[in-house]
Structure 1
Amino acid sequence: MPIPQTGHPAPDFQLQDQNGNDVKLSQLRGKNVVLYFYPKDNTPGCTREACDFRDEHSALRSAGAVVLGVSPDDIKSHQKFATKFSLPFPLLADTERQVCEAYGVWGEKSLYGRTFMGVTRATFLIDPEGKVARAWPKVKVQGHVQEILQLLEGGAPAEPPAVAKAPAKKAAAAKKTPARRG
């Protein structure tokens, strides 16, 4: 299935978290939901992403968001992962991959010349009305959580171009200044 587009209703679902609790997206109406999909518990990139969400969890909550992580791993795997890294948010077990497919993140991947089926790292910001406010279809872990937080804290779509110009000026200034050798 294609990735849900901005402004379209987010596909509803019900999955169990690492503690066996049912989590239904429609029950979170009225809140912003950060729904992030990741390939596998306890792998380097997924651990870093989960820990980034953990480290910014209180700021994300203060900005009015609920964080949900989703992967095809089972509840037991999620329990171990959440406990090992003190993750304060639900990890949802999509063992049948129905939610991954509904969000267009399950498909063919390749790594080191090998092709296989898997989850593409992606994040969806779902607004209080249950619509996709923003989609990140191919997430790069570094800086991703901060980008979401900035958007939630009022960094509306009009702001990023202005923010993007400032570092470019610094970069241009840095190029003009010769590096010192010591």
Structure 2
Amino acid sequence: MNEYLKLFNLFTDIEINDFLKLSQTILLKKGDLYINNNEICDSIAFVKSGIFRSYYYSNNDDEITYCFTFPNKLLMAYSSFISQKKSEENIQALTDAEIISIPKATLENLAKSNSNWLRFLKIIAEKEYVELEKWIFNHQKDKAQQRYLDLITTQPEYIKEIPLHYIASYLGVTQRHLSRIRANITY
């Protein structure tokens, strides 16, 4: 988390240490939920270790995985975090995980007392928007095979830990179609 915050070039070491004192380390077991749908996301977390999936339920009550979160990334149900309304998504640990969490209220108090934290929140909002737009474009223009290649290229060390049915859901294909995609790829 310390190194992650330094990447923003906004904070002094003292500000980062103060932030870390206000945060809490949470250990999650494989299968645990960080956020459950119909709960309000009232904190933001940094993934120190582990893999998470974000999913929602379709009108047919099928689980639809739409996002994976890997180490050294932020984790939250962003719409719920911003609006403070109940989340429509679930965020589940796919492996044992360790996160560093800070309550929204604490982060907002930091932003009131130090404009660097306000800039940090602005940058996070911009990054979330860019990621959402990228996801939409990729899911509309790229075929499932290309999205799978992107996933195994950007996260080769973690992809093996994600059950195939979650990857198939993320790609919007059946497990059978995913098997055909994997068979056509030479590693």
After TM superposition, the score normalised by the length of structure 2 is 0.28
After TM superposition, the score normalised by the length of structure 1 is 0.29
Structure with the larger helix share: 2
